């Protein structure tokens, strides 16, 4: 028998008196919103047979390299990444994975824009992608000013004028190295990772947006 039963049976029966508990309510809500077979599906629709659908996953792959190399840089510190050959290599990996992250994310954005990927109740998925892009720009800027070299000093003095001109310099001071480092290694990575996880969960919940022609065909010619 090659076809297996794909349904997932609960391992522990829920007692009747426990059904009203908040834990049971949250569990039921989570499972009904995102059943395991939809969270990690075995198969994808045939319309995904195009290279343009690869760029979201490529962006995630680049993000994972950024996180791993960023953790290594945090553990070892500036002397290591400026002076040792391994440190320089990891620093370069961190930079180039960021370059690829933005490259893939922009191609992903263009692809989803021309697919009108917000169709079918997917507006929140689209907006979480937009916020991830904005948070990533902030993460990149704070990274450039946290390099501890002449390049970072030059970028900080230039960015300072730009940020002061829009009135945010008082609480987001790019010349304050400690503040920029905290934004770069704690606040913005947390934001980017958390919103990316939400973005992926929303994609899993609503499914990958079907092509416009397919939607029109299903709706009898109506968009």
Which is nearer to another protein, 94 or 172 (by Cβ)? 94
Query: Is position 214 an interface residue for another protein (rule: CB under 8 A)?
Result: no
Query: Is position 96 an interface residue for another protein (rule: CB under 8 A)?
Result: no
Query: Using CA atoms, how far apart are residues 213 and 150, in angstroms rounded to an integer?
Result: 53
Which is nearer to another protein, 78 or 111 (by Cβ)? 111
Task: Note whether 144 and 155 are within 8 A (CB).
Answer: yes
Q: Which two tokens stand for residue 3?
A: 């076809």
Minimum CB separation from another protein for residue 102, in Å? 9
Query: Using CA atoms, how far apart are residues 135 and 101, in angstroms rounded to an integer?
Result: 13
Which is nearer to another protein, 3 or 9 (by Cβ)? 3
Query: Is position 52 an interface residue for another protein (rule: CB under 8 A)?
Result: yes
Q: Interface mask (CB under 8 A) for another protein, residues 101-120, using x and -? A: --x--xx--xx---------
Query: Is position 49 an interface residue for another protein (rule: CB under 8 A)?
Result: yes
What is the separation of C-alpha 154 from the centre of its chain, rounded to a whole number of angstroms? Answer: 29
Near another protein by CB under 8 A: residue from 51, 75, 83, 150:
51
Task: Note whether 36 and 10 are within 8 A (CB).
Answer: no
Minimum CB separation from another protein for residue 42, in Å? 12
Residue 145's Cβ-count burial label (10 Å; 0-12, 13-18, 19+) is buried
Minimum CB separation from another protein for residue 155, in Å? 14
Size of the site for another protein (CB under 8 A): 13
Residues numbered 2 to 21 that lie near another protein (CB under 8 A) are: 2
Minimum CB separation from another protein for residue 51, in Å? 4
Query: Is position 154 an interface residue for another protein (rule: CB under 8 A)?
Result: no
Which is nearer to another protein, 18 or 99 (by Cβ)? 99
| Residues in contact with another protein by the rule CB under 8 A | 2, 49-52, 54-55, 99, 103, 106-107, 110-111
């Amino acid at each position: 028998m090659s076809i297996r039963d794909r349904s997932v049976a609960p391992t522990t029966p829920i007692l009747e008196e426990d059904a009203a508990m908040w834990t049971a309510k949250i569990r039921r809500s989570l499972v009904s919103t995102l059943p395991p077979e939809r969270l990690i599906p075995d198969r994808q629709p045939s319309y995904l047979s195009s290279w343009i659908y690869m760029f979201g996953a490529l962006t995630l792959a680049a993000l994972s390299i950024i996180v791993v190399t960023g953790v290594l840089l945090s553990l070892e510190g500036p002397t290591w990444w400026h002076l040792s050959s391994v440190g320089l290599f990891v620093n370069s990996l961190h930079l180039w994975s960021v370059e690829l992250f933005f490259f893939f994310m922009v191609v992903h954005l263009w692809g989803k824009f021309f697919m009108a990927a917000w169709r079918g109740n997917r507006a929140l998925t689209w907006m979480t992608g937009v916020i991830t892009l904005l948070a990533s720009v902030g993460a990149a800027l704070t990274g450039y000013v946290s390099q501890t070299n002449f390049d970072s000093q030059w970028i900080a003095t230039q960015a300072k004028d730009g940020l002061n001109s829009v009135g945010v310099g008082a609480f987001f001071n790019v010349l304050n190295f400690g503040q920029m480092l905290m934004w770069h290694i704690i606040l913005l990575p947390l934001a980017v990772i958390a919103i990316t996880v939400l973005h992926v969960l929303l994609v899993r919940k609503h499914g990958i947006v079907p092509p416009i022609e397919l939607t029109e065909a299903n709706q009898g010619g109506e968009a």
